Chains A and B, each alone.
Chain A
Amino acid sequence: MLQRVYEWVDERLDITPMWRDIADHEVPEHVNPAHHFSAFVYCFGGLTFFITVIQILSGMFLTMYYVPDIVNAYESVRYLQGDVAYGTIVRGMHHWGASLVIVMIFLHTLRVFFTGAYKRPRELNWVVGVLIFFVMLGLGFTGYLLPWDMKAYFATVVGLQIAESVPLVGTLSKTLLSGDPEIIGAQTLTRFFAIHVFFLPGALLGLLAAHFIMIRRQGISGPL
Chain B
Amino acid sequence: MHRGKGMKFVGDSRVPADRKPNIPKDYSEFPGKTEAFWPNFLLKEWLVGAVFLIGYLCLTVAHPAPLERVADPTDSGYIPLPDWYFLFLYQLLKYEFASSDFTVIGAVIIPGLAFGALLLAPWLDKGPERRASRRPIASGLMIFGIISTVYLTWESVDHHDWEAAAEQGEMLDEEEEEALEDVDTNAEGYEIYTDQGCISCHGDQLQGTGAAGPSLYDTQYDADMIQEIAVEGIGEMPADQFDGSDEELEVLAEFVSNGGNPGNGGGDSGSEEESEEESSGDNNEENAE
How distant is the Cα of A162 from the Cα of B22 in the complex, in angstroms? 55
Of the listed stretches B70-78, B174-182, B256-264, name the one at the interface; the rest are far from the partner chain.
B70-78
Q: Interface range on chain A: under 10, 10 to 19, 20 to 34, or 35 or more?
A: 35 or more
Q: Check A220 for interface membership: any CB of B closer than 8 A.
A: yes
Q: Check B285 for interface membership: any CB of A closer than 8 A.
A: no
How distant is the Cα of A81 from the Cα of B1 in the complex, in angstroms? 56
Instruction: Indicate which residue in B60, B126, B169 contacts A149 across the interface (CB closer than 8 Å).
Output: B169
Across the interface, do B6 and A218 meet the contact criterion of CB distance under 8 Å? yes
Question: With A25-B11, A89-B61, A115-B130 in contact, is A30–B32 under 8 Å at CB?
Answer: yes
**Nearest-CB residue, chain A, relative to B139:** A114
Q: How many A-B residue pairs have CB under 8 A?
A: 251
Across the interface, do B71 and A119 meet the contact criterion of CB distance under 8 Å? no
How distant is the Cα of A218 from the Cα of B10 in the complex, in angstroms? 8
Across the interface, do B86 and A141 meet the contact criterion of CB distance under 8 Å? yes
How distant is the Cα of A39 from the Cα of B66 in the complex, in angstroms? 36
For B139, list chain A residues within 8 Å (CB): 114
Across the interface, do A34 and B44 meet the contact criterion of CB distance under 8 Å? yes
Across the interface, do A26 and B123 meet the contact criterion of CB distance under 8 Å? no
Across the interface, do B115 and A134 meet the contact criterion of CB distance under 8 Å? yes
Question: With A24-B37, A149-B68 in contact, is A118–B121 under 8 Å at CB?
Answer: yes
Q: How far is the CB of A179 from chain B (nearest CB, A)?
A: 15
Q: How far is the CB of B170 from chain A (nearest CB, A)?
A: 9
Across the interface, do B7 and A218 meet the contact criterion of CB distance under 8 Å? yes
Q: Check B164 for interface membership: any CB of A closer than 8 A.
A: no
Q: How far is the CB of A117 from chain B (nearest CB, A)?
A: 7
For A98, list chain B residues within 8 Å (CB): 83
Question: With A158-B80, A218-B7, A220-B9 in contact, is A29–B33 under 8 Å at CB?
Answer: yes
Across the interface, do B168 and A20 meet the contact criterion of CB distance under 8 Å? no
Q: How far is the CB of A146 from chain B (nearest CB, A)?
A: 11
Across the interface, do A116 and B131 meet the contact criterion of CB distance under 8 Å? yes
For B68, list chain A residues within 8 Å (CB): 149-152
Q: Interface range on chain B: under 10, 10 to 19, 20 to 34, or 35 or more?
A: 35 or more
Of the listed stretches B100-108, B193-201, B232-240, B276-284, name the one at the interface; the rest are far from the partner chain.
B100-108
Across the interface, do B71 and A94 meet the contact criterion of CB distance under 8 Å? no
User: Residue-by-residue, is B31-54 near A (CB-CB < 8 Å gives 1, otherwise 0)?
Assistant: 111111110011011001100110
CB interface residues, A 11-27, toward B, < 8 Å: 16-17, 19-21, 23-27
For A202, list chain B residues within 8 Å (CB): none
CB interface residues, B 130-171, toward A, < 8 Å: 130-132, 135, 138-139, 142, 146, 168-169
Interface majority SS (helix, strand, loop, mixed), chain A: helix
For A141, list chain B residues within 8 Å (CB): 82-83, 86
Across the interface, do B32 and A29 meet the contact criterion of CB distance under 8 Å? yes
Question: With A26-B25, A149-B169 in contact, is A34–B93 under 8 Å at CB?
Answer: no
Across the interface, do A81 and B35 meet the contact criterion of CB distance under 8 Å? no
Across the interface, do B24 and A222 meet the contact criterion of CB distance under 8 Å? no
Across the interface, do A16 and B80 meet the contact criterion of CB distance under 8 Å? no
User: Residue-by-residue, is B193-218 near A (CB-CB < 8 Å gives 1, otherwise 0)?
Assistant: 00000000000000000000000000
Which interface residue of A116, A123, A157, A222 has the most chain B CB atoms within 10 A? A116
How distant is the Cα of A123 from the Cα of B30 in the complex, in angstroms? 25
**Nearest-CB residue, chain B, relative to A149:** B68
Sample (6) of A-B pairs whose CB atoms are under 8 Å apart? A24-B36, A28-B10, A70-B71, A110-B146, A150-B168, A220-B10
| Chain B residues proximal to chain A, CB less than 8 Å | 3-11, 13-15, 20, 22, 24-25, 27, 30-38, 41-42, 44-45, 48-49, 52-53, 56-57, 59-61, 63-73, 75, 78-86, 89-90, 93, 103-104, 107-108, 115, 118-119, 121-123, 125-126, 128-132, 135, 138-139, 142, 146, 168-169
Q: What 20 additional pairs, Cβ within 8 angstroms, besides A17-B14, A32-B41, A218-B3?
A: A17-B15, A23-B42, A27-B36, A29-B34, A30-B32, A32-B35, A34-B35, A50-B53, A91-B65, A92-B61, A96-B56, A97-B56, A102-B85, A113-B142, A119-B126, A141-B83, A150-B69, A165-B107, A217-B13, A219-B9
Counting from the closest, the 5 A-B pairs by CB-CB distance are A116-B130, A219-B10, A154-B80, A95-B65, A29-B32
